[in-house]
Amino acid sequence: MKQTLCTISSNDEVMPGIHLMWIESPDIAATAQPGQFITVRCGDFTLRRPFSVHQVSSREIALLFRVAGKGTIWLAQRKAGEKMDVLGPLGKGFTVGPESKNLLLVAGGIGIAPLVFLMHHASAQHQITLIHGASTAAQLYPNGCLLADGSDGAIQFIPVTEDGSRGKRGMITDILPDFLDWADQIYACGPVAMYKAMVLTLNPSPLKGEVKGESEKQNNLKMKKCQVSLEVRMGCGFGACYGCTINTNEGLKQVCRDGPVFELDDIIWREVRI
């Protein structure tokens, strides 16, 4: 973890209301792992804003963020050549098992931000399917950005839109079962509603509760492990304030220090309020 005054290389609106910003930060670029994040001091606001590391190069890191409040409005207005205060890398990221070959990445909306870094990091040695769900085609990740690092054809990109304007029509969880037999590991980032729907798809019992006559059926299901990245409001970003505490099967955890990546079935979803 290092606090640095970084220079902005570029800041472009790549989708409506969504910016891709590259900043010069060789120290963070050299040490960041997929799933980790940084915090940025946005102008004079007291609390720093957390952002997933979206991509890395030899000397730069990229952020993908939605303009949603005063902090991100300030960030969207920054120009190339300006400097900003960055702290990172922070948190614990994704892990890939040594025997895994096929990785399924599931992104809901702006949740694609940390998964592109994972995709680039793992594509040389793994087959990857990336499902991106959005309301409409204009909110889907630009294809040209997916292979920006020179990745080969080991990546399959599947768009899903609620209005059917591009790719498959419906929700991500509608097509998720089609890939479960193929995937060795699953990774996801998106809204809490998406995670709760995924729990029911991957393991019906945690949210529905025990139903008479279903125990044997559920025990025979091939349960899939899934790592998810949580996006929550944070105070400090490194575990001092306890403002991002959630309840898990192993007790209280801090998203900034113990996460932001957790196992999907470790989180007590009925108590999550994000």
Q: What is the pLDDT of residues 79-127, one digit of tens each?
A: 999 999 999 999 999 999 999 999 999 999 999 999 999 999 998 899 9
Give the pLDDT mean for 135-157.
Answer: 72
Q: What is the CATH T-level fold of the domain 102-229, as seen in this structure?
A: Rossmann fold (3.40.50)
Residue 146 binned pLDDT confidence (cut-offs 50, 70, 90)? low
In the chain, list all ranges with CATH 3.40.50.80.
Answer: 102-229
In the chain, list all ranges with CATH 2.40.30.10.
Answer: 2-90
Contacts with 120 (C-beta within 8 Å, 6 or more apart), sequence order: 55, 56, 149, 151
Q: Give me the architecture of the 2-90 domain, per CATH.
A: Beta Barrel (2.40)
The per-residue pLDDT for range 210-267, each reduced to its tens digit, is: 444 444 334 333 457 899 999 877 777 776 777 788 889 999 999 989 999 999 989 9
- Token pair belonging to 140: 């889907």
- Token pair belonging to 3: 């606090």
Specify the pLDDT at position 267: 92
